[in-house]
Chains A and B, each alone.
Chain A
Amino acid sequence: MSEPHSYIGFEEYSQRIPQSIPAAVQQATSRFVGLRAARVAEMPHWEQLRQLGSDIRLHTIENLDYYLTKLEINVQAAGGIVHWAATAGDARQIVLQIAKEHDVKLAVKSKSMATEEIELNHALEEAGIEALETDLGEYIIQLAGTGPSHIIVPAVHLKKEEIASLFSEKLKIQAPADPAVLARIARETLREKFLNAEMGITGANFLVAETGTLVIVTNEGNGRMCSTMPDLHVAVVGIDKVIPDWETLTVFLKLLARSATGQKISTYTQFITGPRKEEGEFGPKEFHLVLLDNGRSKILQDSVGREIFKCIRCGACANVCPVYKHVGGFAYGWFISGPIGAIFAPQMLGTRVARELPYASTLCGACADVCPVKIPIPKILRHLRKRVAEGDVVSGPAMATSIRATAGLVSLALAWNWIYRTGTRLLPSIMGVFLKDGWIPSAPYPLSRWTSVRPLPRFNAQFRSWWKNKLGKKDTSR
């Protein structure tokens, strides 16, 4: 499991959301939503494709031991070196050891959620190694000193003006708020680093077990530079990323770009099978694959929760999530945000640290509707809420005793219908005290949490007596 993570206070964060975030996030996500919809409309068999994607991913994670063994054999056969990391700490140690053996001073990185998960940059810096992010969005947030706020658009929370002032401050230049110019500045800075780096670090979108092939999908080509220019390439990848073969890969390449950015295919799709075999060939001299467990195999034992590992990290769920669109990614407290983050962190970090996240959704279901691999996110949210409220084999209840006691009382009143019916008769006069202009503008706790935002309608509850009266009339008329 991961090291202890600090408590994720979703509610506390939601009370102080920087004003610029929702605007920036909504602008970008709305564009993606529109583009995705256009691509999906072009695909008459989209729903069948989603089902196929879901079936293949579920099959793979349910037979992960088989496919991982196959993958290891084939990566080794292609001349690569495979490392198994049980924890985030193990993974960091493995990468540091490789870097040390090769006397690495500078490492260039392509965008990778797995290295965010293990906080690799921090570990490299502590060991005196410069680690530079080369994806534009990642480069920006590295300058800003934050984590990503979206799976595929890490700097989605920043407007171009904010990025310009960040560049001006950190790079000691005069940067205009022009995306093309900002990208050129980043490119010039990065080009030199690519040429001097001794190590390239990447993640992977997929691992093809059949041939031991690493698949990286990018739009900037930086993944290709990281994995071919330095003589040493280290890929850190979660064990859930394996897929059976090239035929199944075609399904995910069709689903991924369309769901993520609304492209038919990403600009660069790269297939890496081992290091270069002979001089003159492209690619590094040495290729290492670090397979990261970090608690995944434990989650795989949970038949409901495990479906999270079908995820292909497209971010479509966040793009349509009304909660994410208003709070942004940092509210979720870890490197994966949005609906998928709300079911990821509680499982990976435990329901005590992330107990608010399963509730950070209205259960509107928009996420499940767009998920390219049909992860039943609302179902998993409810499943995790059960773990928080009642506990289960994985974890004990993490909810305040007072709330659990209240739920107990509520269920008594609803299950013993005479209590409910008595309450229904009494509530209109009790709550009548608070009436003003036909509304209840301010009610006592816990209803105050409702009325702090909008008034409560009047409790009228006349239907039962009206019905009784109506029945009585009907009987006498007969």
Chain B
Amino acid sequence: MAKAQLFITCLADQFYTGTLQNMTRLLEELGVELIFPPEQTCCGQPLYNNGFEDRTREVARNFLRAFSHTDAPIVGPSGSCASMIKHHYPDLFPVGTPEHNLANEIAARTHEFTDYLVNVLKVTDVGAVYPHKVTYHASCHYLREMGLKTEAKSLLSNVKGLEFITLNEEDTCCGFGGAFTVTFPEVSRLLMEKKVGNIIASQADTVVMCEPGCLMNVAGGLYKAGSNIRAMHIIDLLAER
């Protein structure tokens, strides 16, 4: 039986309990035995992306400790957080040190949720039913750092009743960018409003994405624009029956 460790990410931990519950249910339905290391906090990306490399190392050490109790794969609901572990953790420690080796080892078994489903479990149909018009926002790190170009779409293509609508400028940043939103709120607003405008113009009733950060931004933007379009994490859509 497959085993996996739940990496819940700080944003989903704070804001998206339902998504994490759905992630648990979906993986258990597929026969995955789940472990949740409660010492986990955040991957440290907000510090890393703002130039605090020394501080990031401290946070990374907590993560590496939390997830090295077993050698089970690590699965999380965010391409951005998974990419932090996969692509940036090894750079935090000098080559040849035990910490660098551990970072490499952990990086090799860290997966974003749809990547784990499609490429590890080889599942593209989870039996979801969602009879709605759905459009998709391709999140930046999920798409470009993790290189996940087809995974979300192939999962969506097997959802019963779902009508897929391609979003104009699907792969353009929504303006979240982590601390960018609070560093330059006015520029973030311009990017977000453009994204929200494209979503509204798509005439979909649901917009789906694979990133809690983008979801906070886009859902808030839609709410502010007075739109009824539902912004969802892909996990929540895949849990619809």
Contact = CB atoms under 8 A, between A and B. Distances in A.
Interface of A: 10-11, 14-15, 22, 322-323, 326-327, 358-366, 368-369, 382, 384-390, 399, 404, 407-408, 410-417, 420-421, 424, 427, 439, 446-447, 449-450, 452-464, 466-467, 470
B223 A360 contact: no
Contact of B144 (A327, A358, A365, A460): A365
B184 A407 contact: no
A102 to B, nearest CB: 48
Given A365-B141, A382-B51, A407-B52, A415 B178 contact: no
9 contacts: A323-B191, A326-B190, A361-B177, A362-B180, A389-B51, A414-B41, A417-B39, A424-B13, A460-B15
B8 A457 contact: no
A414 B44 contact: yes
B219 interface: yes
B41 A417 contact: yes
A442 to B, nearest CB: 12
Interface in B53-78: 53-56, 58-59, 61-62, 66
Given A362-B175, A439-B223, 16 more contacts: A323-B187, A362-B180, A366-B172, A386-B53, A389-B50, A390-B51, A407-B47, A411-B44, A414-B10, A414-B44, A414-B62, A415-B59, A417-B39, A447-B182, A455-B223, A460-B17
B177 A417 contact: no
A200 B12 CA distance: 61
Given A362-B140, A362-B173, A454-B221, A415 B58 contact: yes
Interface string B170-190: 011101111111111111111
Interface string B1-20: 00000001010111111001
Contacts of A22: 190
B61 A415 contact: yes
Interface of B: 8, 10, 12-17, 20-21, 24, 36, 38-42, 44, 46-56, 58-59, 61-62, 66, 140-141, 144-145, 171-173, 175-192, 194, 216-217, 219-221, 223-224
B184 A411 contact: no
B140 A363 contact: yes
Nearest to A386: B51
Nearest to B66: A417
A454 B50 contact: no
Contacts of B187: 14, 323, 326-327, 360
A365 to B, nearest CB: 4
Nearest to A383: B51
A11 B186 CA distance: 8
The 8 A-B pairs with the shortest beta carbon distances in the complex, nearest first, are A362-B177, A389-B51, A454-B220, A385-B51, A411-B55, A364-B173, A364-B140, A415-B58
B172 A389 contact: no
A323 B177 CA distance: 11
Contact of A459 (B14, B191, B220): B14
Given A365-B145, A456-B216, A467-B36, A450 B182 contact: yes
B148 to A, nearest CB: 13
Nearest to A449: B182
B181 A322 contact: no
Contacts of B20: 463
Contacts of A450: 181-182, 185
Contacts of B17: 460-463, 466
Contacts of A327: 187, 190
B14 A427 contact: yes
Contacts of B172: 322, 364, 366
Contact of A364 (B39, B46, B144): B144
B181 A464 contact: no
A439 B219 CA distance: 11
B191 A453 contact: no
Contact of A11 (B53, B177, B184, B216): B184
Which of B61, B185, B189 counts the most A-chain CB atoms under 10 A from its CB? B185
Contacts of A439: 220, 223
B186 A15 contact: yes
A411 B191 CA distance: 29
A363 B53 contact: no
Contact of B220 (A410, A455, A463): A455
Nearest to B139: A364
B184 A14 contact: yes
Contacts of A461: 13-15, 17
B47 A411 contact: yes
A435 to B, nearest CB: 13
B43 to A, nearest CB: 9
A335 to B, nearest CB: 21
B191 A322 contact: yes
A462 B16 CA distance: 9
A47 B175 CA distance: 28
B10 to A, nearest CB: 8
Contacts of A358: 51
Nearest to A471: B36
B184 A10 contact: yes
A358 B179 CA distance: 13
Contacts of A452: 185
Contacts of B54: 390
A22 to B, nearest CB: 7
Contacts of A387: 51
Contacts of A459: 14-15
Contacts of A410: 46-47, 55
Contacts of A404: 52
Contacts of A323: 187, 191
A392 B66 CA distance: 31
Contacts of A470: 24
B182 to A, nearest CB: 4
B184 A454 contact: no
A454 B224 contact: yes
Nearest to B176: A362
B183 A359 contact: yes
B195 to A, nearest CB: 9
Nearest to B41: A420
Contact of B185 (A412, A449, A460): A449
A463 B24 CA distance: 10
A309 B13 CA distance: 42
Contacts of B188: 362, 453
B21 A454 contact: no
